[in-house]
Amino acid sequence: MAKPSAAVIGLFDTPDSILHAAAAARTKGWRGLDAVTPFPVHGMEHALGLGMSWVPYVTLGMGLLGGLAGMVLQIWTSAVDWPLNVGGKPFVSWPAFVPVMFECAILIGGIATFIAMWMACRLPKARPRIHDERLTDDHFALVVPLAEGVAEMDVIEFLKGAGAHEVRRVDQ
């Protein structure tokens, strides 16, 4: 489905009021709702029906992979490629390899998390759509896309009723 080219945004003053508005808007069956807020509003993911982020799976997978790669690297270099007898200890002296394995797990897991998070957010973006410059300061916006069958007047009425102090139509 193509993304609607226009939307109506309502600006709110408090996280509480936008949370209620978001939950109410969702019960109306409007799709593609979004909220733009200066800080994460708790409960918004439920109010908008967003699923759990997939970023943790990347962290887990890449962290395990990093740890495994670290251990394999150490065993291969110390016991296979150039077996070096250090103080008569076994070549695969795995307890001595634990710290580096751990650090590799954290390093790879961390870098992967960083990349995955920005990919999930579809950032970086050269020209982000900034609806209002106060939204990173102290205003909260509920964005209702004007999909087919969504009447602009209904949305405006609803947002005003929900306590938005400013409502306007924007291009998406």
Partner 1 sequence: MSTRVDTAPAEGVFPPEDLLSRDIRMRDVTRDVVAPTERFPNAMWWAAFLIANGMLGVGAYTIYLLLVRGQGIFGLQIPVGWAFDITNFVFWVGIGHAGTLISAILYLLRQKWRTAVNRSAEAMTIFAVMTAGIFPLLHTGRQWLGFWLMPYPNHRLLWVNFRSPLLWDVFAVSTYLTISLLFWYTGLVPDFATIRDRGRSLLRKKIFGALSLGWTGSARDWNHYEKAYLLFAGMATALVLSVHTVVSYDFASSIIPGWHTTLFPPYFVARAIFSGFAMVVTLLIIMRRMFRLEHLITIGHLELMNKIILVTGLMVGFSYCTEFFIAWYSENPFEQYVFLNRAFRPFAWAFWIMFVCNAVVPQVFFFKRMRRSLPVMFVVSILVNVGMWFERFNIIVTSLHRDFLPSSWDTFIPTIYDFGWTIGAFGLFFTLFLLFVRFFPVIAMAEMKAGLPNLAGKGKAAQHG
| Contact (Cβ atoms closer than 8 angstroms) between residue 144 and residue 22 | no
Angle, CA 168 vertex, CA 167 and CA 172 arms, to 5°: 130
Q: Quick check: helix, strand or coil at residue 123?
A: coil
Q: Does 84 bind partner 1 (CB under 8 A)?
A: yes
d(CA 84, CA 118): 43
Least distance (Å) from partner 1 to the CB of residue 118?
7
Among 4-12, 28-36, 146-154, 158-166, the segment contacting partner 1 (CB under 8 A)? 28-36
Q: Does 127 bind partner 1 (CB under 8 A)?
A: yes
| Contact (Cβ atoms closer than 8 angstroms) between residue 18 and residue 163 | no
The correct pick among 81, 152, 154, 157 for binding partner 1 (CB under 8 A) is 81
Q: Which two tokens stand for residue 126?
A: 């050269």
The closest of 12, 54, 8 to 33, measured between CA atoms, is 8
The correct pick among 1, 2, 130, 151 for binding partner 1 (CB under 8 A) is 130
| Residues binding partner 1 (CB under 8 A) | 14-16, 19-20, 22, 34-46, 48, 50, 52-53, 55-56, 59, 73-74, 77-78, 81-82, 84, 86, 89, 93, 96-97, 99-100, 102-104, 106-107, 109-111, 113-114, 116-118, 120-121, 123-131, 133-138
